[in-house]
Chains A and B, each alone.
Chain A
Amino acid sequence: MDNQPADYDNFSLDDFVIDPFFREWVLFSEIIHEEFWSDWKKANPSKINLVEEARDMVLNLEKSKMEMSPEELLSVWDTIQTDIKKPVKTLESSTRKSKFWSYFAAVASVVLVCIGWYWYELPKEIKYQTAFGETKEIMLPDSSTVILNSNSKLTFVNNWEDQRAREIWIEGEAFFSVVHKIDHQPFKVLSSQNVAIEVLGTEFNVYNRSGETEVILNSGLVTLSFPVKEKEGKIVMEPGDLVKFKDNKFQREKVNTSLYTSWKDNILNLEHTSLADMVKMAKDNYGVTIEVQNKEALSLTASGSMPLTNADAFLHQIALIFNVELKKENNKYLIK
C-alpha cells in the first residue's frame, strides 16, 4: 500500500478519484471529512469544479460494484467446507505408509531416551497470584507481558518452546501485551468457562470472575472460541470489541476500551458507571464486605476518573463521588 500523505493542492482529477480519503468522504461523509473538505474548498476556490467532478465520478464508479448475495456468499463457503473435508490423496502419503515400519524402530528408541530424560527435566508449572489490592507485572518466557489485577491467578507450564501454542490459564483479571514470534506460534489464554482466546499479536484484557468471562481488545486481532451446548462457538474480535461470556451465552459490544483497562495504570475511569458496579469492583479487587443500606443509591451513576490505591481510599472516593455516607464497622463498610 503506497498511499503517500496526500498533497491535495496539486491533485489532478484522477488523483482525487483514486484517493482513499477522498473516496471515504464521498461515500460515508462523516463530520471530520465534511469539515476538512469544506475548509479545503474555501482555501482552494478554483478547484471546486474539479472536486465536484471527481465526486460524481466516485459516485458513479461505486454503482458498478458487484457483490454476491448473502445466500451466494454462504453457498460458496459451504462448498469450500465440503471440498476441504475430503481427504487429499497424494502419491506421497502412500509411499510414506510403506516406509512407516522402517522408521518405527528408530522413532521408538528415541522416544525411550526422551522418557528417561523427561523424568529429570519435567516442565514446571509456574503460578503467579495477587492478593487483594495488589497488582503485579509479569514478564513471560517469550517476553510478552501480563499485568495481573488484584485477587487473580495466572498459570502456565514452562515448556512453550516445543508446543504448538503458548498457553496460559487465568482466573480473575489480567491485561496482556503479547509479543509476536517469528515462527508465528499462537498465544492462547484459557478461562475457567472454557473460553479460549487465540491471539494474533495484540493487547487485550481478560476478566474472569464469578462465572463470567469478559474479553476487551485494545489492538490487534483475537479469535475467541467457547462452548455453546455441545458445539463450539467461535468469533473474531476486532479492536474496541468487548465480548462477554456467561451461562453459555455470549454478547458482543463496542466499548471505549480505556474504561476497562485503565486499572493497569492504577486509574479507574468511570463512564455512567453505577454504584452497584463500583461495589462489585471493590469486593472483587479488595475482598472487602460492603453493605448498601440504601438500595436506591445502587443505581446512581457517575463519570470521571479516580486513582486506585487501597480499599479505604477507594471507598472514600466512592462516597465522595456518589455523595453517600460511608461508615466502617468491624471490617465491614456500610453505605447509607
Chain B
Amino acid sequence: MGSTVDLFILKSLKSTSRRHSDDRALWQSMAKGNDLAFSNLYQRFSNLLFNYGMHFCFNRELVKDCIQELFTNIWNRRESLSEVDSVKYYLFKSFRNLLIKHINRDRKLFTDRNEGQELQDSETSVEDYLVSLEYVKENERKITAALSKISNRQREILVLKYFNELSYSEIASLMSITPASAHNLLSKALQCMRVVMKALLLASFLNHF
C-alpha cells in the first residue's frame, strides 16, 4: 500500500510543478511578444483572480476593472518585466495592490476620508450584494454569507490557500505577515467558518418549523 500512496502523491506533485513551469514558459514567451501566450495566461488566471477579488471586496465591477488593468499593464510593460519565480504569486501580488489602490480611491471619492491601507469590514454591503444576486442558489448564498461573517483577512487567506494553493511563505509576504501567523490565521479562519456554518445550518433548520 505504501508504494501506491507515493505514486499518487508524486503524480499530483508532478502535475503542480509542471503547471508551475508551464506558467513560467508562457510568461517568458509573453514577455517576448507572443500574444497567444498572453491570452493563455489570461485564460489560466482571470477567474482565479476574480474569485480572489470577489472575496476581497464583493464589488464585481471593481474586480473586473482591476483584472483588466492588471493584464493591460503586464502587456504594455512586458519588455521591462523582470523574470518571475512564481507567475501566480506575481499576479496575485500585483492584483492585490491594484485592488487596494482602487478601493482606497473609491473610498476617498465617496466618504472623503482616507482609511489607510487596510480594509474595513463592510458587512452591510455584503448582505446587500448577496440579496441582489438572484441567481446565486440558496445554499451557495448561505456559504457566501458564512464567509462574509469571518474577517476580511481570514477570508483572504482561505482563498489564497484553499483555492489557489499558494505556499505559506508566499501568503505571508503577500499579506505582510510572518509565515507562522499565516498558519495561525488560516486555522482561525477554518475554525470560524465551521462555527458560522453550523450556526447557519441550525438557523435554517429551525426556520423549517
In the complex, are the beta carbons of A76 and B68 less than 8 A apart? yes
Q: How far does the alpha carbon of A152 sit from the alpha carbon of B28 in the complex, in Å? A: 32
In the complex, are the beta carbons of B8 and A200 less than 8 A apart? no
Asked whether any CB of chain A lies closer than 8 Å to the CB of B139, the reply is yes
Stretch at the interface among A217-225, A285-293, A311-319: A217-225
In the complex, are the beta carbons of A39 and B51 less than 8 A apart? no
In the complex, are the beta carbons of A60 and B144 less than 8 A apart? no
Report how many residues on chain B are interfacial, defined by Cβ distance under 8 Å. 59
Asked whether any CB of chain B lies closer than 8 Å to the CB of A123, the reply is no
In the complex, are the beta carbons of A67 and B50 less than 8 A apart? yes
Contact mask for chain A residues 1-32; partner B; CB cutoff 8 A; 1 contact, 0 none = 11101101000011001101101100000001
**Per a CB cutoff under 8 Å, which of B39, B51, B186 touches A67?**
B51
Q: Which residues of B contact A68 (CB under 8 A)?
A: 46-47, 50, 64
Asked whether any CB of chain B lies closer than 8 Å to the CB of A84, the reply is yes
In the complex, are the beta carbons of A186 and B64 less than 8 A apart? no
Q: How far does the alpha carbon of A32 sit from the alpha carbon of B31 in the complex, in Å? A: 39
**Per a CB cutoff under 8 Å, which of B22, B26, B162 touches A61?**
B162
Asked whether any CB of chain A lies closer than 8 Å to the CB of B153, the reply is no
Known contacts A1-B165, A18-B186; decide if A200 and B76 are in contact (CB<8 Å). no
Known contacts A66-B55, A223-B29; decide if A21 and B22 are in contact (CB<8 Å). no
Residue of B nearest to A24 (CB): B12
Contact mask for chain B residues 77-109; partner A; CB cutoff 8 A; 1 contact, 0 none = 000000000100000000000000000000000
Asked whether any CB of chain B lies closer than 8 Å to the CB of A98, the reply is no
Asked whether any CB of chain B lies closer than 8 Å to the CB of A43, the reply is yes
In the complex, are the beta carbons of A63 and B140 less than 8 A apart? yes
Residue of A nearest to B145 (CB): A64
Interface residues of A in 213-260 (CB under 8 A from B): 220-221, 223, 225, 234-236
In the complex, are the beta carbons of B47 and A73 less than 8 A apart? yes
Contact mask for chain B residues 30-68; partner A; CB cutoff 8 A; 1 contact, 0 none = 011010110110100011001100110000000010011
Nearest Cβ on chain A to B74's Cβ, whole angstroms: 9
Secondary structure of the B contact surface, majority rule: helix
In the complex, are the beta carbons of A200 and B167 less than 8 A apart? no
Nearest Cβ on chain A to B80's Cβ, whole angstroms: 12
Asked whether any CB of chain B lies closer than 8 Å to the CB of A172, the reply is no
Q: Which residues of B contact A63 (CB under 8 A)?
A: 139-140, 143-144
Q: How far does the alpha carbon of A220 sit from the alpha carbon of B18 in the complex, in Å? A: 8
Contact mask for chain B residues 154-192; partner A; CB cutoff 8 A; 1 contact, 0 none = 000010011101011100000000000000001100100
Asked whether any CB of chain B lies closer than 8 Å to the CB of A184, the reply is yes
In the complex, are the beta carbons of B34 and A223 less than 8 A apart? yes
In the complex, are the beta carbons of A66 and B51 less than 8 A apart? yes
Report how many residues on chain A are interfacial, defined by Cβ distance under 8 Å. 52
In the complex, are the beta carbons of A200 and B36 less than 8 A apart? no
Asked whether any CB of chain A lies closer than 8 Å to the CB of B199, the reply is no
**Per a CB cutoff under 8 Å, which of B26, B51, B76 touches A221?**
B26
Nearest Cβ on chain A to B57's Cβ, whole angstroms: 12
Contact mask for chain B residues 120-150; partner A; CB cutoff 8 A; 1 contact, 0 none = 0000000000000000000110011011000
Contact mask for chain B residues 15-28; partner A; CB cutoff 8 A; 1 contact, 0 none = 01100101001101
Q: Which residues of B contact A21 (CB under 8 A)?
A: 8-9, 12
In the complex, are the beta carbons of B190 and A13 less than 8 A apart? yes
**Per a CB cutoff under 8 Å, which of A20, A180, A200 touches B37?**
A200
Q: How far does the alpha carbon of A23 sit from the alpha carbon of B158 in the complex, in Å? A: 14
Residues of A in contact with B (beta carbons under 8 Å apart): 1-3, 5-6, 8, 13-14, 17-18, 20-21, 23-24, 32-33, 35-36, 39, 43, 57, 60-61, 63-68, 72-73, 76-77, 79-80, 83-84, 88, 164, 180, 184, 186, 198, 200-201, 220-221, 223, 225, 234-236
**27 A-B pairs (CB sep. < 8 Å):** A2-B169, A3-B13, A5-B6, A20-B165, A24-B12, A36-B5, A43-B1, A61-B143, A63-B139, A63-B144, A64-B55, A64-B143, A64-B144, A64-B147, A67-B50, A68-B50, A73-B47, A88-B76, A164-B32, A184-B31, A198-B34, A200-B22, A200-B29, A200-B37, A220-B22, A221-B25, A223-B36
